[in-house]
Amino acid sequence: MECAGRRPKHRWRLKVRAIDAAQPFDDETKLLSTLERRKTLTIGVIGFGNFGQFLTKRFVQRGHSVIATSRGDYSQVAMKMGIKFFQDADDFCEEHPDIVIVCTSILSTESTLRSFPLQRLKRNTLFCDVLSVKQFPKQLFIQLLPDNFDILCLHPMFGPDSGKDSWRELPLVFDKVRVGNDAHRNERCTSFLEIFEAEGCRMVEMSCEEHDRQAASSQFITHTVGRMLGTMELAETTISTKGFESLRCLVDNTYNDSFELYYGLFMYNKNATAELSRLEFAFAKVKSELFDRLHERIRDDIFDE
């Protein structure tokens, strides 16, 4: 309070000391950045071939941090993608990725995993695979991985050709084989699946066993027919119908895959042999219908009555 007749020594001026905008030291901002950090996963790719690189590109685009290891040396490719490559599996494991995703060929997965220094990984790593067969890696993971690892089996039902531009509406089959009860583990698994969801994949939760049953009659047969037509070396014609063009498309989508991959679809899916027999039986039946009719006609010509 001012006294009458006395002038105040200081005139107090109003100064703005706080504003309403979020500041880096606010609790909300700190919480938000913790959440953002948590959503950024460190994903370790084992097997940096065709498919491993294809997935990595999207993971990086989505802002995740990726590291990779492989039998061959992919340091240059990795550098171009802006990720770290470790030819030594020990060095890879010591980076302690949150998630490890196995992208090796079906045939080499067991030997790769048996010689992998799993004990150097984080105690509760989430282990995934993208093999085109599912019961086999599920069984292998349960058998070889430490009990405290989470297991998520995936099969992106598309590849570098069909998913080149977009993953919209392309099916992603997944089976949460073993995910620990605590919130962090669930959140990590969800965050990983959300990458595929955000890319527009059709998310299909299905047991590995059911996947193999269905894949034998769809994927394996598709690959077999594609390989047969590829072996026939079908050439374009000047009067190609739409149907013929789709057959040539089928060859393009399957014949370029390694024979190793195709053999893996056969060898490591116990339903494949039965489907191959069904295909053989169907071919024999169709062929015999043609020849039976032909024989009937010829006999009619030979015998008058």
Q: Is the Cβ of residue 97 or residue 156 nearer to ligand NAP in the bound state? A: 156
Closest CA to 264 of 71, 164, 135, 160: 135
Do 68 and 52 contact (CB within 8 A), yes or no? yes
Stretch that binds ligand NAP, among 5-13, 42-50, 203-211, 293-301 (CB under 6 A): 42-50
Q: Is the Cβ of residue 124 or residue 206 nearer to ligand NAP in the bound state? A: 206
Closest CA to 58 of 79, 83, 32, 93: 83
Check residue 218 for interaction with ligand NAP (CB under 6 A): no
Mark residues 47-86: x for contact with ligand NAP by CB under 6 A, - for none: xxxxxx-----------------xxx--------------
Q: Is the Cβ of residue 2 or residue 164 nearer to ligand NAP in the bound state? A: 164
- CA-based Rg of the chain, rounded to a whole angstrom? 29
Q: Is the Cβ of residue 39 or residue 255 nearer to ligand NAP in the bound state? A: 255
Residue 100 burial (CB < 10 Å; 0-12/13-18/19+)?
A: buried
Stretch that binds ligand NAP, among 34-42, 45-53, 59-67, 184-192 (CB under 6 A): 45-53
Q: Is the Cβ of residue 13 or residue 80 nearer to ligand NAP in the bound state? A: 80
Q: Is the Cβ of residue 95 or residue 110 nearer to ligand NAP in the bound state? A: 110
What residue number has its CB nearest to ligand NAP? Answer: 159
Mark residues 97-136: x for contact with ligand NAP by CB under 6 A, - for none: ------xxxx-x---x-----------------xxx----
Which residues, 6+ apart, have CB-to-CB distance to 177 below 8 Å? 138, 141, 142, 151, 152, 153, 208
Reduced to 3 states, what is the DSSP secondary structure of residue 230? helix
Token pair of 160, please?
A: 């570098």
Least Å distance, CB 149 to ligand NAP, is: 19
Among 59, 78, 121, 156, which residue interacts with ligand NAP (rule: CB under 6 A)?
156
Least Å distance, CB 106 to ligand NAP, is: 5
Least Å distance, CB 70 to ligand NAP, is: 3
Do 153 and 208 contact (CB within 8 A), yes or no? yes
C-alpha count within 13 angstroms, C-beta hemisphere, residue 69: 21
Q: Is the Cβ of residue 128 or residue 189 nearer to ligand NAP in the bound state? A: 128
30, 80, 264, 266, 302 from 105: Cα distances, Å = 43, 23, 8, 13, 58
What single string gives the DSSP state of each residue in 83-97? -EE-SSHHHHHTT--
| Cα gap 269→217, rounded to integer Å | 11
Residues 229-288 that bind ligand NAP (CB under 6 A): 257-258, 260-261
Least Å distance, CB 51 to ligand NAP, is: 4
Token pair of 165, please?
A: 């531009």
Q: Is the Cβ of residue 39 or residue 202 nearer to ligand NAP in the bound state? A: 202
End-to-end CA distance of the chain: 135
Q: Residue numbers of the site for ligand NAP (CB under 6 A)?
A: 47-52, 70-72, 103-106, 108, 112, 130-132, 156, 159, 257-258, 260-261
